[in-house]
Amino acid sequence: MPEFRQNLATKEWVVFATERARRPEDFTRSRPQVKALPALDPACPFCPGHEDATPPAILTLPTGAAAWDVRVIPNKFPALVPAKDPSCVACASQVGPYLQRAGNGSHEVVIDAPYHNCDLPLLPLEKVEEVLDAYYLRFNALSRDPCTELVLIFRNHGPRAGTSILHPHSQIVASAVVPFRVRNRIYEGQRYFDSYGECVYCAMLAYEQADGTRVILENEHFLAFCPFAASTPYEVWLVPKHHRATFGSVDEDELHDLAHQLRGLLSRLWRLLDDPDYNYVIDTAPQHLAAVPFYHWHLRMLPRLTTPAGFEIGSGIGINVVLPEDAAAALRGACGDAVTPEEAGLP
């Protein structure tokens, strides 16, 4: 029988229709085969040697090295742009009954690796750490801007996830407004804290760690698990064990452990689901709530294996055909070591 489950942190409902259940290989049958990418693409603006095809770098890692491993640049086609007059960022104007305001903020691209065909699951652990170091440095730099309310870090991998350039990259957007979905997570987190005196994410973390059914990976600082009300097949959360409201407050040891779990998770997804399209996003509190006890930053991984249809769009209730307990068991059984060039079909 189908089953409703509720996301404790957002109060959103998901339907689990297990009579439609699929095995991991069923998600890959309709996907077209992708040709192996070259190490360097003469048409790619993100490849080394093409630095003049992009705006000048904001940050390169390693700092001061002749060759870069990670390069952060302004997005050439930004969703948001810096304010010409910072004093006007919070101003809104009225058009009849409607409100409008300038699309102010910042939009950056993190080029995750110099090689066109070297995605995160193929990178050595220390190189994944450099990507996270870039996230951390830019998050805190953008957060210091008085016009910034929220810094959002995300990665789109594959056409179903909205990627337009194949070269491995992530994006960082700093916004002058806090959008509804983020406000709703904060509101529900505060309601839970007011009712029970603890962070809802800490409560879920403790339960999932003790139960173990949906846990995939665990190390000193992080727990990776499929959430009880996963909105999509093989959705995974990476949640820090130490309560912090924002990503910008992590320490070096936590970044190391996050890199280990992130690469391990992506390697498992790569092997189990044949390099699926996915989005991941770092959910974090806005700057004015950086020290609150009721929000807990985390990374959400969403493989793009199904397409929302009329019921989901009309009701706002997702339909998931894979129980998170089954997804977690399959991911635990997959190899989490770095993907080898031979496995990826690289020359």
- Count the Cβ atoms, other than its own, within 10 Å of residue 30: 6
pLDDT tens figures, 244-274: 999 999 999 999 999 999 999 999 999 999 9
Contact yes or no for 176/104 (Cβ under 8 A): yes
Give the Cα separation of 95 and 92 in Å (integer): 10
Give the Cα separation of 347 and 116 in Å (integer): 13
Give the Cα separation of 209 and 227 in Å (integer): 12
User: Is 116 among the catalytic positions?
Assistant: no
**pLDDT for position 122:** 94
DSSP 76-112: SS-SSB--SSGGGTT--EEETTEEE---BEEEEEEE-
Is 254 strand, coil or helix?
helix
Give the Cα separation of 196 and 207 in Å (integer): 15
**pLDDT for position 334:** 96
Q: Where are the alpha helices (DSSP H) in 49-179?
A: 125-143
Whether the bond between 341 and the residue before it is cis, its omega within 30 degrees of 0, is no
Contact yes or no for 259/36 (Cβ under 8 A): no
Q: Which residue among the candidates 116, 157, 167, 169 is catalytic per the annotation? A: 169
**pLDDT for position 94:** 85
Domains, the chain, ordered by start: 3-82+100-333 (3.30.428.10)
**pLDDT for position 81:** 87
**pLDDT for position 23:** 72
Give the Cα separation of 224 and 214 in Å (integer): 9
Residues of the chain short of pLDDT 70, as ranges, are 20-22, 28-35, 86-90, 347
Closest CA to 71 of 121, 108, 124, 118: 108
